[in-house]
Amino acid sequence: MVVWICVKAGDLQGIFNQPAKVSGRAHIWLWLATFSSTTNSWLTSTMNMSDYSRFAKTGSRGQWSQALAIPVIKTIYAVLGLAVVGSGRVLYETDISSPVDMLPYWGNTGGGRFLAFVCAILWMLAQISCDISANSIPFGHDVMSFVPAWMTVRRGSLLCLLLGAWGMVPWLIVNSADKFLSFMSAYGVCISPICSIMIADYFLIRRRKLNLSDLYHPRGCYRYRAGINWRSFVTEFSFVGINLPGVINNVNPSVLIPSGLAYLYQINWFVNTLGSFLVYWCLCTLWPPLESLDPRVLRE
């Protein structure tokens, strides 16, 4: 699709030298907000990577091999998207931000309609593959860890299918690019602190030393008080709370909030990632989780 529209436009300079519609401070904040939304959209893959990489035959190298994959792929996608938008401006004086919007321009010939059909089949296959690998199987693993007595990965995947296909009304989320980016930004508000807490806890607090058997024992050394690590609880909900007004304003612009909170929400990935890391590390330094720091602690 990118090759077709670029060849049809036939003006490389016109494609990539389109004048900016925003400038100055508005451009900077828009760039930061887009960066946060794009990064937040891949956080689920970051958290669920271990569901697959733990089966790698090369040990930890299976995880590190993916370190550059996401940045490289997302950069390529961004360049291809810019080429399509630039070509759309040259040809039709409009921004084509969704591949679906390009299909009506193919409907004039039988060959174009056939290619549109092929693209639809490929999109359907890509969507099924993405949902299985990035959504249903990780969800099944997570739910199984909560209720392992009766929940399996397969049952959890079916539950994810029901919730994702109907409960989350996905047709409204993907109805437009603006709504999708808004959804991913709000989603990242909850996910980015979790990633930072996990990184800080494993590398700084535990020094990469874990008692594997106690991870699965209800009375193991990682039980904490009442089963809750209050340090991670406070860190997570503190950063979710400061971004909650921005989430509400983004969903319903009629709800007015101070400009400072709106800007804070636009850079939520930067704030939540770095802030959660530092806050959790400070809380564990001031109040160490003594019940779980020593992997040699005996179970009661």
pLDDT, tens digit, 9 for 90 and up, residues 221-252: 787 877 788 999 999 999 999 998 988 888 77
pLDDT bucket at 184, cuts 50 / 70 / 90: low
- Containing structural domain, residue 90: 1-106
118 within a domain of the structure (yes/no):
no
Q: Which of 106, 132, 150 is the last residue before a domain boundary?
A: 106
135 within a domain of the structure (yes/no):
no
288 within a domain of the structure (yes/no):
yes
Statement to judge: residues 185 and 294 lie in one domain = yes
Of residues 38 and 246, the one with the higher pLDDT is: 246
Report long-range pairs for 211-214 (Cβ below 8 Å, ≥24 apart). 211/295, 211/296, 211/297, 214/295, 214/297, 214/299
| 62-75 average pLDDT score | 76
Statement to judge: residues 101 and 181 lie in one domain = no
Rounded to whole angstroms, the Cα distance separating 10 from 29 reads 33
- Total domains in the fold of the chain: 2
pTM over 0.85: no
Tell me phi and psi for residue 79, to 5 degrees: -65, -45
pLDDT bucket at 294, cuts 50 / 70 / 90: low
List the end-to-end C-alpha distance of the chain, in Å, as a whole number.
Answer: 63
Q: Which of 77, 106, 135 is the last residue before a domain boundary?
A: 106
Residues 6+ apart with CB under 8 A from 50: 63
126 within a domain of the structure (yes/no):
no
- Reference 157, options 174, 137, 172; nearest CA is 137
138 within a domain of the structure (yes/no):
no
Statement to judge: residues 93 and 208 lie in one domain = no
pLDDT bucket at 176, cuts 50 / 70 / 90: low
